Every structure is written in C-alpha cells, then in structure tokens.
C-alpha cells in the first residue's frame, strides 16, 4: 500500500488565506440553512382537518352585505347598499397525474387523473391553488352620495377592499 502524501502546510495556509472570505460566506450560508424557522410549530398548531367546501366557497351576497355594513359607518354616508359584479368566478386548481397511453395501433393519448389523498375514513383531492374571483365593477347607493367628500371616501374604501380602480366604482345618491 502506498503512503499518503500530504500537501505542504505552507501551501495549505496560503490557500486558506487566499480564499478565507469564500469559506466564511459558505459557512454563513450553511448556518442559515440549518437555522430553525419554527415552521413545524406553526404546522402543528393548525387543525388537522381543512376547510369544508362551504367554508371555502365565495359568497357574493355575503360580501356585498359585509361591505354595505362597513361603508354605512362612514360619516355622512347613511344606509349604504353595494352591488358588485364579477369578471371571473372562483377557480380551484387540483393536482393531477398525467400518463401516456399507447394504443394498439401505435397512437399515443394522454390519461389524466386527479390526485386523491386517502385520509383513512375520507378521501379528498389535493388542492394546488385557489383563485378567488376578480371584480369587474361596483355600485354604491347611499343618502350621502351627493356629497363629494363622502363619494371620495366610499370610492377609496371600495377600492381598498376589492382592488378595483376608481374608474370602476360608481357612488350614487339614494334614499
């Protein structure tokens, strides 16, 4: 067996001196990767069961009522009624598995199946993302709608809550 030839200690010292900052950055990066984030504690605190379909569903009427209640508290507005229009509805993107199927005549087709988790007594599809509806416009009717200050406040509030621009929100005076 051949003896191991160790490098000259002076060359090793020169090498370490030359690349000491690189080693410091690598060591700091490894330390940050190993640093605990507390994510496991947050995951443990979450309930095991997810939201039911009725809790996840978007309810336009409930949102309009909630918005009306909030906007009615604006000074000078009075009793507010809100109507919202939706550009696109709620969309759920589920995880799917795609497989190539070759037919007897040599043609290929795709077979797509939704990924299902088996949770013992129940099964549920794996949800990747859930896109909530985007709003198209809003109409606000209230007794204080004739006052420019109230119109501005209501327009800003609806814009902040729905993401609509001021050009898509109309505030009207009503009884």
Residue 30 lies in a domain: no
Enter the tokens of residue 106. Answer: 């040599």
Residue 162 lies in a domain: yes
CATH code (residue 57): 3.30.300.30
Residue 140 lies in a domain: yes
Q: How many helices (H) and strands (E) does the chain have?
A: 6, 9
* Model pLDDT for residues 120-174, shown as the tens digit of each residue: 666 677 777 777 778 899 999 999 999 999 999 999 999 998 889 999 999 999 9
Enter the tokens of residue 57. Answer: 């569903």
What's the structural domain count of the chain? 2
Give 19-43 as a DSSP string: THHHHHHHHHHHHHHHS--SHHHHH
20 pLDDT tier (thresholds 50, 70, 90): confident
pTM: 0.50
């Amino acid at each position: 067996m051949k003896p191991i030839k160790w490098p000259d200690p002076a060359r090793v010292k020169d090498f370490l001196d030359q690349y000491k900052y690189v080693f410091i950055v690598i060591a700091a990066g490894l330390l940050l990767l190993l640093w605990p984030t507390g994510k496991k504690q947050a995951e443990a605190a979450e309930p095991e069961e997810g939201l039911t379909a009725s809790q996840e569903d978007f309810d336009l009427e409930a949102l309009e009522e909630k918005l009306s209640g909030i906007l009615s508290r604006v000074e000078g507005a009075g009793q507010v009624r809100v109507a919202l229009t939706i550009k696109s509805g709620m969309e759920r993107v589920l995880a799917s598995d795609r497989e190539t199927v070759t037919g007897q005549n040599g043609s290929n087709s795709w077979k797509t199946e939704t990924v299902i988790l088996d949770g013992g007594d129940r099964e549920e599809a794996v949800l990747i993302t859930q896109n909530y509806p985007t709003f198209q416009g809003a109409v606000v009717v209230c007794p204080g709608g004739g006052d420019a200050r109230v119109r501005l406040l209501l327009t800003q509030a609806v814009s902040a809550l729905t993401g609509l621009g001021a050009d898509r929100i109309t505030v009207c005076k009503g009884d």
